Amino acid sequence: MVYAFRDIDMGELGRLVIESTVDGETRISSEVAGDPQDPMTAQRLKVFEPISEALTHRLETTLGRGRPTALPVRLSEPRGQVPVEEVYCEVCNQLVALVVFADEANDLDQLEDCARMMYMHYAWHNVPTWLIGPQYCGGPIPQRRANVLQVWPQHGPLESLRPEEFNPRIEALATQHCK
């Protein structure tokens, strides 16, 4: 059995796995979600570890004590493709930003899940990176807002922006890079 734990702001925290072993024992494993290098993994661990320890203690009270092990990190599993726009300097053609279109991410927790899954990609490129959820609200497309989350080099707050509010940030990176 696998029990997954989510946070409304951080998305998937981790999971508790309960399984039988070949020697007839029950194994209880706790896994925090994310890459060990991702600073958000430490934040997820801070929230998930006490939950995991409390549930494990409760299970051990009923089933008997097992052998303690370190809480492992579970790397993100690829789940399809996510569109990524690479933004280049207009002068030297160097990559200056990534914009990830997380079309299925309607809330902060879903954007955080996407950020966790994309961590290796944007960390490797080492350029400012934003995740953009689907547009919401009615009206003409230029007036529709979308949730925007900067994830690299710093993790920023969730913002609700129209294209005219977000696009100048990207355009500035492309035009000001070599100035």
Q: Are 52 and 30 in contact (CB under 8 A)?
A: yes
116 has pLDDT over 80: yes
| pLDDT at residue 73 tops 80 | no
For residue 157, pLDDT over 70 is answered with yes
For the chain, the structural domain boundaries read 2-74, 84-176
Q: What pLDDT is attached to residue 6?
A: 94
Predicted pLDDT of residue 102: 95
Angle subtended at Cα 71 by Cα 63 and Cα 113, rounded to the nearest 5 degrees? 115
User: What is the structure's pLDDT at 66?
Assistant: 63
Is the confidence at residue 76, as pLDDT, over 60? Answer: no
Mean pLDDT, rounded, of the chain: 88
Q: What burial class does residue 6 get, using C-beta atoms within 10 Å of its C-beta: 0-12 exposed, 13-18 middle, 19+ buried?
A: middle
Query: What pLDDT was estimated at residue 131?
Result: 98
